[in-house]
Structure 1
Amino acid sequence: MTFDSLGNLYGTTYEGGGEKSEGGGTVYKLSPGSSGWTETVVDHFLPTGQYGVAPLGEVSFDPHGNLYSTTSLGALGVGTVLEISVNGQSRIFSFDRVDGAVPAAGVLVDARTKTLYGTTTGNIYNHGNVFRIAASGQETVLYDFCQQPNCTDGSAPFSGLISDEAGNLYGTTEFGGANGLGVVFEVTP
């Protein structure tokens, strides 16, 4: 979950947001008030929608207040990155397994360049990757996991990314490493 500058809390639900069992998930906002929190559905996903379904990760903001989220399914079947603005949803990128699959965490927004960074838990090799999406919408795979024998470089990065002042990216994987229990990694874009 993510707070905005006004103290509102934003998050996602994997399911719900539609009638009966048709909901493909939501992005919601919890606003603090004198009598508690008030929930507002910011956006919802339909199983037949072009923007994907089943969001898993946290949302991120750019300096203009636009939200960014990922879905684990939909569009081409293996997830999307999208922007949610006051004008509605806008799909930025659809994964096709070659360039990644099932982004389980949100994206990191570089406020200066409007570049997005994230991880996918799968790809054509089923081990995941670290990706970058430029403001133009062009996606670049920065690193595919399990390139080393026995996946000592890690596999399945379910976590989001953080960055340092130099722009290096850090995260964790669930599997791989010397003991098969995951790694902490650094990627220089």
Structure 2
Amino acid sequence: MMLLSYIRVSTVEQNDDRQLIEADKTFTDKVSGSTTDRAELNNLKDFARLGDTVTVHDISRLARNIKDLIDIIEFFNSKGVAVEFRKEAMTFTADKKNPMNQLMLNLLGSVYQFEREIMLERQKEGIAKAKAKGVYKGRKPTVDYALIEQHLNNGLSIRKTVAETGYSLGTVAKVSKKLKG
């Protein structure tokens, strides 16, 4: 029986120190919680065995919507693995269903899902306002199309342009196609 810790932060820049828990093995994802297709979560699912306990700092670290949250807990429970949430002081095991824990899980999971939807809505509103004011330009382009066009217009082949500019073959070919058509 092992204590397995799962940690998730949304970005590489975020610090996971507040979630650190002493465990036999720790699985850390640095990706959004909006998807369940996470490398370390999948590794944890493969690694966990009968009698193990997966411990997570809080519910929002495991999933951001109620369906995914319940699916993940049921997956582990079906393998005989307990899931423990430290902040909420709740544990879910296959052998005992606690109606109060189920209620709290559904309630807190719904609150986290609601928070995420509100945050995304506010983000969209903020972007729309910034665009209306002309201050939101989106992400800066990572490709200097003018440089690629210059090389192609000077008679360099696609492959030589790739070598000279360092851009991918696909990017240079796309610019070349745009110039021709």
Structure label with greater radius of gyration: 2
- TM-score by length of structure 1 reads 0.23
Q: Which has the higher contact order (CA 8 A, sep 6+)?
A: 2
Structure having the larger proportion of residues in strand: 1
Structure having the larger proportion of residues in helix: 2
